[in-house]
Amino acid sequence: EVQLVESGGDLVQAGGTLRLSCVASGFTFDDYAIGWFRQAPGKEREAISSITSKDGSTYYADSVKGRFTISRDNAKNTAYLQMNSLKPEDTAVYYCAAKEDSLPLGDLLLLAPIYDYWGQGTQVTVSS
């Protein structure tokens, strides 16, 4: 059974930090790019960042560049999203997703519809 399980969401003050984790099982993690997305109430799902499976190339939405860092540990089947300088507008449910990337996809990895598997999400709330 394929599973992506996010954790690390919390309530933090503006300017604070959080580190989200995404633990994968049921598929070959090394063959999949990982993306992080978020969805705030009443808004569409938004791409945050992605990282390729083999060379670790990363992509970021402009809204989080310089504040968020994506990484992965293939030995642990885990991806991470380090979030610094959090703002109230970062409040959302954060999801990780996996996309098989034997072919180079580049910044297409910031498009939600191409992803194969999704987690259930973790809530991040940033208070002002």
Percent of the chain with pLDDT over 70: 100
Separation of CA 80 from chain center? 7
- Distance (Å, rounded) from C-alpha 119 to C-alpha 11? 20
pLDDT band at 54 (very low <50, low <70, confident <90, very high): confident
pLDDT value at position 51?
97
Task: Give ∠ CA 34-40-41 in degrees, rounded to 5.
Answer: 140
For residues 81 and 38, the answer to whether their CB atoms sit within 8 Å is: no
